[in-house]
Amino acid sequence: MATYQEFIQQNEDRDGVRCSWNLWPSSRLEATRLVVPVSCLYTPLKERPDLPPVQYEPVLCSRANCKAVLNPLCQVDFRAKIWACNFCFQRNSFPPSYAGISEVNQPAELMPQFSTIEYIVQRGPPTPLIFLYVVDTCLEEEDLQALKESLQMSLSLLPPNALVGLITFGRIIQVHELSCEGIAKSFVFRGTKELTPKQIQEMLGLMKPATSGQQGKPLAPHDAAASCRFLQPVEAVDMNLTDLLGELQRDPWPVPQGKRPLRSTGIALSIAIGLLEGTFPNTGARVMLFTGGPPTQGPGMVVGDELKTPIRSWHDIQKDNARHLKKATKYYEALANRAAVNGHSVDIYACALDQTGLLEIKCLSNLTGGHIVMGDSFNTSLFKQTFQRVFSKDYNGEFRMAFGGTLEVKTSRELKVSGAIGPCVSLNTKGPCVSDNEMGVGGTCQWKICSLTPATTLALYFEVVNQHNAPVPQGGRGAIQFVTQYQHSNTQRRIRVTTIARNWADAQSQIQHIESSFDQEASAVLMARLGVFKAESEEGPDVLRWLDRQLIRLFMFHLRRSPFLQVFNNSPDESSYYRHHFVRQDLTQSLIMIQPILYSYSFYGPPEPVLLDSSSILPDRILLMDTFFQLVIYHGETIAQWRKAGYQEMAEYENFKQLLQAPLDDAQEILQTRFPMPRYIDTEHGGSQARFLLSKVNPSQTHNNLYAWGQESGAPILTDDVSLQVFMDHLKKLAVSSSA
Amino acid sequence: MIRWEFCCASSPAAHVFRPLKASERLTRPLKLFLQQNLINIDLLPQFLFILFSPVSAVFRDRDELRMNVNQQPHMASPYGQPQPGYQGYPQPGYGGGHVPSGYPAQYAPYNGPGSAYQQGPPQGMRGPPTSGAPPVSGAQSYSQFGQGETQNGPPPMGAPPQRPPVSQTYTPGAVNLSGPQPPFSQQFGAPPVSMQQMTNQMASMQVGSTAPSPAGPGYAPPSVSQAAMSAPYTPAAPPSFPPTSAAPSQPPPTEAVARPPPQSYYGAPPPAQQPFPNAVPPFSSTGPTQPQAPPPVSPQSFPQAPPVSQPPFSTAQVPPGPTQSYGGPLPPTQPSFSRPLLPTSQPSTFPAGPPPTSTPSQLPGVMQPQPPVSQPSPYHSGPHPTSTGFPPQVGAPPRPPFAGMQGPPMAPQGPPLASQGPPMVQANHVPPTQPGMPPGPISASMSGPPPQPGMQGYPPQQNGAFGQVRGPQPGYTGPYPGQPNYGAPPAAPAPAPPATKRLDPDSVPSPQASDMPPVQKTRHRIDPDAIPSPIQVIEDDKANKGSEPFTTGVRGQAPPLVTTKFQVKDQGNASPRYIRCTAYNMPCNSDMAKQSQVPLAAVIKPLAPLPPDETPPYLVDHGESGPIRCNRCKAYMCPYMQFIEGGRRFQCGFCSCVTEVPPHYFQHLDHTGKRVDCYDRPELSMGSYEFMATVDYCKNNKIPQPPAFIFLIDVSYNAVKNGMVGIVCQELKTLLDYLPRENPDVESNIRVGFVTYNKVLHFYNVKASLAQPQMMVVSDVADMFVPLLDGFLVNVSESRVVIESLLDQIPEMFADTRETETVFGPVIQAGLEALKAADCAGKLFVFHSSLPIAEAPGKLKNREDKKLVGTDKEKSLFQPQVSFYNTLAKECVVQGCCVDLFLFPNQYVDVATLGVVPTSTGGSIYKYTYFQASSDQERFLNDLRRDVQKPMGFDAVMRVRTSTGIRATDFFGSFYMSNTTDVELAGLDCDKTVTVEFRHDDKLSEETGALMQCAVLYTSCSGQRRLRIHNMAVNCCSQLADLYRNCETDTVINFFAKYAYRSVLSSPIKNVRDSLVNQCAQILACYRKNCASPSSAGQLILPECMKLLPVYLNCVLKSDVLQPGADISLDDRAYLRQLVSTMDVSESHVFFYPRLLPLQKLDVESISVPVAVRDSEERLSRGGVYLLENGLNIFLWVGVNAQQELLQNIFGTPAFGQIDPNMTSLPALDNPFSKRLREIIESVRAQRSRYMKLMVVKQEDKLELIFKHFLVEDKSNNGGASYVDFLCHMHKEIRQLLS
């Protein structure tokens, strides 16, 4: 038998699932003692080049409250043409189309290797993708110019039949009509007045007089293109829109000295969502917000327009000094929920040196599966390439994005689902498998994920409900089925079904087995998500305390120091940004986020990963650190000097040149695949940017203990944080000491 | 009946008032008169009165230009003391006159004849048939009298009476008279009565129909006067006429314009006589006019009717001939007359002698006729008999009596003139019948004659006559007994109500009269020619004042009328183009003011355009410290500032405060105390000038930005469909090159912006850098805002390409719109917000089509409810239905946002509400109901062009400062006031007028007069802040007579109209009308009581300057706002109401009294325009073509019998039937007539601030109804009184006040 390592890897490759435990304790009590809950990370749209979708509908269990999909775990009576649902044990007959099945002629969904299978279903007319650009015009001229170019470029990346729309905002909001010839036409809204969706639709002229008896022309049945002049196929308005973007002016309203420009982000988003909601409900659509600063007026404003009032900091928030925080957050949450209900997602591209109010706005993306990209300027490659990557295509030449997903979880009787953490909202579907004990977004067995990428990963938490006195039969298996319905980027409706099963184990007798089935990485990420989720919703110190209590038995030193939980030295926006990405990336990426990877390049051998420790910082090394958000190349002191001296230019030092090039190449590789594009930093010893590295490494050497350690050690870190050694010492002490 | 006596002089009181002035002139005529007439001592007083009155009248006339409709003098004197005194004097006549009761009996008969007579002329028309039954005619006249108006007719009678006196005086005075005198005396003997009767009749006519009769009686004694009259006439007639023709001629032509003649006459007594004749003619003319067709008949009828009378009538008719000549002036009349009587002669006469000549000629004619009429004698005799005979007749129809009266008078006149005084009187009477005309003429004539013996003689008669037309009759008959009746009759007549009043009058004279069919009464009772004629007044003023420049240096001097073309020289007071006052002599204290009830108001048009030959106000720059001002009241430096202490200080003329002269402004004084640089500085020597304002005068102490124009165009279905959108857009492309600018060589600084809207608004970004305009739709109309700043307001030349592209595309974009709903409030808000955002003042041009029913602020509902009309709730229809617009207007004013509204409604749009903002911001409303591109495009485009191009100021504040003693208390116009003194005008263009009412808060001094300074602070179209100052000084008077002598009726009417039109917002319309009539009556009664010579109460005496007050007031009363017809919409009324509020005097004048030009008289060789005719259907000849304009419309009326040649010249077709009534412009034909006509139309249009669409109205076409609406002297379909009727009503009111 393969090792657990291999088993886990295999499972992940096939199903996109990583479980915290790969053997499940058979009773509730035992499960509770394990601290780390039975849970898993699930990547619904994990790329499976080897998995061709089948062109028919799934077969469902006929029990009304089960509706599980036929899967390899089902008992099948080929003669009677009957199958038994492995979740509710209902016996179902196959539909007529399955008349020809037999042991040798099984449908794909019954084969073990198709524990994950994708169906293409025909439901209604295909709806094109919709991209609605919401563009802030209160930008610096060059920023705006760069943004305009990016947007124009993006048009060429869109599929020709995709619908595209443009809303610009500043002090006022303009919804551009794209269908008109000659005069560029736009509908304008003021940024200070909250409008109901109905008002918005009325004002945009989207309310069709249902009974208008225009003779001659029978009302075209909700002709999408006709009913909405604001969303038009790219192929039709390509030129128009390019011109329009080209003529986009900076917000013309004068900004007096000492003021921020008036930016009506709140209303602009409200209108964008209202517009989609009125025209294309339940259709995949992306609202892409490009903003260069915080909302400063109207509902959803984050900070006033007085420059003398700085935007809220964590300090302000803790002191309850952030005037607009609650109101704005509430406003955006309401918006996010509206968007989510209709399956529309919101991306946020915020590029500014200062905060842009992500903290308040983030829920729009968090709840709808949209992207958040944070940069310093639209005129940076970070933004440009990230934005470009949004439209990247997979091996089939199709967008790596899916819309309007619904994830349903079904469990066998011994399990119930407690909740999910990820870019999803609850659909509030009660069912037999819903646990009362909520973890993350719970109370439901269905979640809406408005936008998915192949990397989108949810954490799902389960509760073992089997009572101790009702043991599971030996060899029994618990099963979980994930049913994800979504709109593929080629506008097909698809359903992906993943069914997994794990053995039950009696904790008392098989504790060793259970221990060995523990997936440390997955658990770390799962717990981290729980922590982040709590951090989002609860007071900061409390979360740390909870984490300490929960993680005391795990070494999650780095997580504790990570920006996901630590707000020190991070703005609220940054925290939001980091957390946003943390709760949606897959396991590998999540791990990188928790514990950055550090590679060392030297003449002494091939590149090697080294400890994320200050002791790794040596003069004759080049270090490459990947924190997910940043990619830092650090040249040691000596290397830096050599480089300065220009040895790499000399033929005889070709090797040095190669050494210098190696980390660059590796970095490039990471940059190619990473979304969002990490901040790329090339620095050296003593460089100001070196702080990115220094802040991450374990401060094993600080100004406090500099001389206690040997001379050769790396660079000292000026910090009061405890080092890993201290942390571990303390941990050990606690672990050994009597149960406190 | 109504006499045009110069009221002033007539009353003894007047003499008292101005004893010295009159004395000299009086003495001689008096003596002469006495000598010649061998007057009884007993009678002397009367004569004195008479004499005085005429004389005074003369004076006053000249001074005051007063015209008494009636010969007030006569009436007055007799009446004043009359009853007692008169009775004594004219015992019979007066007594009779006064006492209606007397009349009935004796007079009745007289009346009968009189009425017959009167009717004769008027009825003559009807006459033909009537002739058979003169009584009927009489009845009619009576009825008229009863109605009051009809009776006005009688007043003319009065005139005759006046004449007698005049004749008397004249006789003495005038050479002619001398000749005549003898006859007079003789005539007097007999005629007197007739004379009196005549006068009485006249009076009665004027007063009430009945009145005359009493007068008659009274006059009877006056018979002397009659004699005089007759005498003068007879003699005068021939000789005098010629002269008359010379001098009076003018007057007569005008309209039997009594006044002018009078003046002239006064000037030269002899001429006066002429006037008489003239007067007579007028009367006759009236007669003719009415009769035109029938004239001949009428004469016949007359003759027939009363045998006795007949002769007179015939004579009368003969006179009519002359009258016709007067009528001559009135085309129709002439012809008719000419035919019957002396067509040729008349015409010839007319042509020969210009209008005046005509009259003279006529007169001569008349004279002749009269003489021949020797019938007069018959008359006299006849009269009596007639009277008696008539009485019965009369009895039947009250009028008959009158008619009889008149008739007799007429006859008498005819005869008198010819043979005896009485005939003359009659003649006069006849004219009186024509009252309207006659009064003027008569008075004039009277005056004319009066100067001569006739005049004097007449006055009394007139008085008597006025008092009671019947008077004369009674007198005739012997009538005195009748006199009492007369007295009564007058009263009766006074009561306008046709039926009852008539009855009354009739009853007095003869109950029968009352029985007379009202209809008959209605018209012909009073000779319209005998009542004051606006045309005559206008023409006289042109003749007298049009030739010389008007210099403003003389304080208290009334300027020429608005209808007169004149040049102004600014010598220290503002030009009348800027400021016109109701009174140029203000009462010294509030008691006087209250007593007189004459409104004290100034009509100010601060930016009025000047003709090219006048210099625009100089621009004065006092440098950084700004204009020099009084420390206390802040009045600006002006010619009224008195420099003292060697020039180191100046004393304010307004508040007397002494202020230091700033060093840089110091200048030495010359020996007269004037600064030596006085004439170098406009602010020290001119009435109007401008100051450069400093930054202190700017909003927020910031130099203003150049203003902006924003065009807001409705693009809803209706607006697109009727073509408005296309037209506006097309026009704007060129129009934008003509934005106002101060220097024609420089581009305009004004920026422009464009918005279209239906139920949402579309803003356009037309920034020069754009390849295509950008449209921004604001659908959040509930909370309007401006979506863009940069690119919305642009410089035309910079963004021309984009703008043109936009204007090309707008019509296309909305060509297929199906949106029918519109908003309105948000549209203005949008413009306002745009101006706010740009921080500038400006003007919005809103092109709007329908009631704003879309959901938005300012949404309106259709509340048109005709059932409310005439109820107490009617006022609510003029009030805005929501308060939203008031608030909005206030905001607009604060920002300096002026709104001009162009409406293109197909149905009710609630102008009353939509107009709130324009009228509060100094904007205008233009309304094109049922707009059709084909027919209304030209009018709209011309209006638009003018509206865009006209010079204007922005963000203006006007303050009127006055010298201590008076205070500006009330303001009328299109503006907003946030406090009681500052008139805030978001925009002030060159057409906008503000009427300011003043009231006393202290006493004024005669020495210093009253000063007012109107300062307007505004931003010029180039963005310069300026102050325009207009200074005005008027005299102060302690004598009411001075007040009445120096006032201006047109301005008073302007004030009244604005006052009334505003009052309809708060009071039931009936109350408004009543109070107008009441105030007017008080004004006239006050005059009568305090200034006019005492005369019988039955006599209507009007101040010369206000003799047109009744006719104009009637026009105001019957205007669509105050007396709506069934076919007039609420919108139209609201529209007119708002329109009038900003009219200047000239506009309001022509609006209320449209100009009617007889085109068949057009002289293609001359550059002059034909003399207008009065607005009455009777003046229209079926063979003529007329042009009527009222400032809003032009009508071309084509008579069915118009000459083919004329039609060919105008329309290019000789056939009446082929004229297309839908044409809106005349074909450009290559003949002098067509060219000249089109020139005239163009020039008329050029005079008005709004383009007038031409409508061709064919006689007897259905469109003619509309046209007739503008014939304001006629009874209107709405129930509006005819001039004659109203005059009678007015008289009744006055009499009630006096009693």
The beta strand positions in A108-154, using DSSP E, are 116-121, 130-136
C-alpha distance from A189 to closest chain B C-alpha (Å): 6
d(CA B881, CA B910): 9
- Local confidence band at A689 (pLDDT 50, 70, 90 cut-offs): confident
What does the pLDDT average to over B17-32?
40
Exposed (0-12), middle (13-18) or buried (19+): which is A475, by Cβ within 10 Å?
A: exposed
* pLDDT single digits (tens) B943-973: 999 999 998 999 999 999 999 999 999 999 9
* pLDDT single digits (tens) B350-406: 333 333 333 333 333 333 333 333 333 333 333 343 333 343 333 333 343 333 333
From B760, B785, B788, residue closest to A252, measured CB to CB:
B788
A248: DSSP letter: P
Using the beta-carbon criterion (under 8 Å), do B780 and A249 form an inter-chain contact?
A: no
Predicted local distance difference test score (pLDDT) of residue A97:
86
Predicted local distance difference test score (pLDDT) of residue B1251:
93
Predicted local distance difference test score (pLDDT) of residue A549:
67
Determine phi and psi for B697, rounding to 5 degrees: -95, 10
Predicted local distance difference test score (pLDDT) of residue A208:
59
Place of tokens 């028309």: B125
**Which residues are within 8 A (CB) of B891 and not within 5 positions of it... i.e. 6 or more apart?**
B832, B897
Nearest alpha carbon to residue A288 among A346, A238, A358: A346
Predicted local distance difference test score (pLDDT) of residue A431:
85
* pLDDT single digits (tens) B1166-1225: 888 889 999 988 888 888 899 999 999 999 999 998 888 889 888 988 888 888 888 888
Share of chain B above pLDDT 70, in %: 59
CB B4 within 8 A of CB B68: yes
* pLDDT single digits (tens) B449-470: 333 333 333 333 333 333 333 3
Count of C-beta atoms within a 10 Å radius of residue A608: 12
Select, from the ranges A712-721, B167-176, B918-927, B1094-1103, the one with the highest average predicted confidence (pLDDT). Answer: B918-927
d(CA A606, CA B587): 117
Nearest alpha carbon to residue A449 among A491, A420, A407, A417: A407
d(CA B833, CA B829): 6
b/e string for A336-347 if b means 16 or more Cβ within 10 A? bbbbbbbbbbbb
Predicted local distance difference test score (pLDDT) of residue A335:
93
Chain B environment of A176 (Cβ under 8 Å): none
How would you write B1010-1034 as a 3-class SS string?
A: EEEEEEEEEECCCCCEEEEEEEEEE
Mutate to test the interface with B, among A174, A183, A212 (most CBs of B within 10 A): A183
What does the pLDDT average to over A616-633?
88
Closest Cα in chain A to B779:
A203
Q: How far from B499 is each of B198, B514, B516, CA to CA, in Å?
A: 24, 7, 9
Least confident among A69-83, B125-139, B718-732: B125-139
- Local confidence band at B509 (pLDDT 50, 70, 90 cut-offs): very low
Task: Provide the pairing of β-strand A184-190 with A172-177.
Answer: antiparallel
Sheet of B642-644: strands edge to edge?
A: B642-644, B649-651, B658-660
Determine phi and psi for A502, rounding to 5 degrees: -130, 155
Structure tokens at B160: 């005759």
Chain B environment of A203 (Cβ under 8 Å): 760, 779-780
- Mark out the alpha helices in A253-380 (DSSP H runs): 265-279, 314-318, 325-341, 358-368
Exposed (0-12), middle (13-18) or buried (19+): which is A142, by Cβ within 10 Å?
A: exposed
Using the beta-carbon criterion (under 8 Å), do B776 and A174 form an inter-chain contact?
A: yes
What does the pLDDT average to over B696-711?
90
* pLDDT single digits (tens) A525-555: 888 888 888 888 776 667 777 776 665 455 5
The beta strand positions in B492-599, using DSSP E, are 550-551, 568-569, 579-581, 585-587
Place of tokens 């183009």: B577
Mean pLDDT across chain B: 69
Predicted local distance difference test score (pLDDT) of residue B983:
93
* pLDDT single digits (tens) B738-753: 888 888 778 888 999 9
Least confident among A244-248, B489-493, B878-882, B1196-1200: B489-493
Residue with the larger pLDDT of the pair B111 and B1224 = B1224
| Cα angle, residue A520 at apex, residues A517 and A526 outer, rounded to 5° | 110
- Local confidence band at B580 (pLDDT 50, 70, 90 cut-offs): very high
**Which residues are within 8 A (CB) of B1046 and not within 5 positions of it... i.e. 6 or more apart?**
B64, B556, B557, B558, B583, B584, B585, B1035, B1037, B1105
* pLDDT single digits (tens) B195-217: 444 434 343 333 333 333 333 33
Chain B environment of A204 (Cβ under 8 Å): 779
d(CA B725, CA B940): 12
CB B49 within 8 A of CB B33: no
Chain B environment of A253 (Cβ under 8 Å): 789
b/e string for B573-593 if b means 16 or more Cβ within 10 A? bbbbbbbbbbbbbbbbbbebb
Structure tokens at B1228: 């450009």
What does the pLDDT average to over A565-588?
85
What does the pLDDT average to over B1080-1098?
85
- Local confidence band at B83 (pLDDT 50, 70, 90 cut-offs): very low
Predicted local distance difference test score (pLDDT) of residue B1092:
81
d(CA A499, CA A478): 11
Mean pLDDT across chain A: 84
What does the pLDDT average to over B972-997?
92
d(CA B352, CA B1283): 31
| Cα angle, residue B262 at apex, residues B258 and B265 outer, rounded to 5° | 140
Residue B891 pLDDT greater than 80, yes or no: yes
Residue B341 pLDDT greater than 50, yes or no: no
Using the beta-carbon criterion (under 8 Å), do A185 and B772 form an inter-chain contact?
A: no
Most distant pair of Cα atoms in chain B: their distance: 100
Predicted local distance difference test score (pLDDT) of residue B921:
93
What does the pLDDT average to over B414-434?
35
Which residues on chain A place their C-beta less than 8 Å from a C-beta of chain B?
Answer: 172, 174, 177, 180, 182-190, 193, 195, 199, 202-205, 214, 243, 247, 249, 252-254
d(CA B996, CA B1034): 15
Chain A environment of B764 (Cβ under 8 Å): 183
Determine phi and psi for B249, rounding to 5 degrees: -35, -50
Residue B606 pLDDT greater than 90, yes or no: yes
* pLDDT single digits (tens) B1138-1158: 999 999 999 999 999 999 999
Structure tokens at B1218: 């082929």
- Local confidence band at A214 (pLDDT 50, 70, 90 cut-offs): very low
- Local confidence band at A692 (pLDDT 50, 70, 90 cut-offs): confident
Predicted local distance difference test score (pLDDT) of residue A480:
93
Predicted local distance difference test score (pLDDT) of residue B657:
92
C-alpha distance from B943 to closest chain A C-alpha (Å): 29
How far is Cα of residue B1179 from the mean position of the Cα atoms in its chain?
Answer: 18
Count of C-beta atoms within a 10 Å radius of residue A643: 18
Name the β-bridge partners of A233: A163
Predicted local distance difference test score (pLDDT) of residue A105:
86
What does the pLDDT average to over B74-79?
37
Name the β-bridge partners of A40: A19, A460
d(CA B951, CA B941): 17
Q: How far from B388 is each of B249, B509, B515, B733, CA to CA, in Å?
A: 37, 11, 18, 79
DSSP assignment string, B100-163: BTHIIIIIHHHHHHHHHHHIIIIIHHHHHHHHH-HHHHHHHHHHHHHHSHHHHSHHHHHHHHHH
Using the beta-carbon criterion (under 8 Å), do B777 and A186 form an inter-chain contact?
A: yes
Residue B73 pLDDT greater than 90, yes or no: no
Residue B605 pLDDT greater than 90, yes or no: yes
Residue B157 pLDDT greater than 50, yes or no: no
CB B464 within 8 A of CB B161: yes
DSSP assignment string, B580-630: EESBSEEESSHHHHHHH----EEEE-TT----TTSPPPEEE--GGG-S-B-
Predicted local distance difference test score (pLDDT) of residue A556:
65
Cis before A96 (ω within 30): no
Backbone φ/ψ region at A257: left (φ over 0), alpha (ψ -120 to 50), beta: beta
Chain A environment of B809 (Cβ under 8 Å): 182-183
SS3 B798: coil
Mutate to test the interface with A, among B759, B770, B785 (most CBs of A within 10 A): B785
Residue B577 pLDDT greater than 50, yes or no: yes
Using the beta-carbon criterion (under 8 Å), do B760 and A203 form an inter-chain contact?
A: yes
Predicted local distance difference test score (pLDDT) of residue A541:
67
From B764, B780, B789, residue closest to A193, measured CB to CB:
B780
pTM, 2 dp: 0.72
CB A357 within 8 A of CB A265: yes
Say how many CB pairs under 8 Å bridge A and B.
78
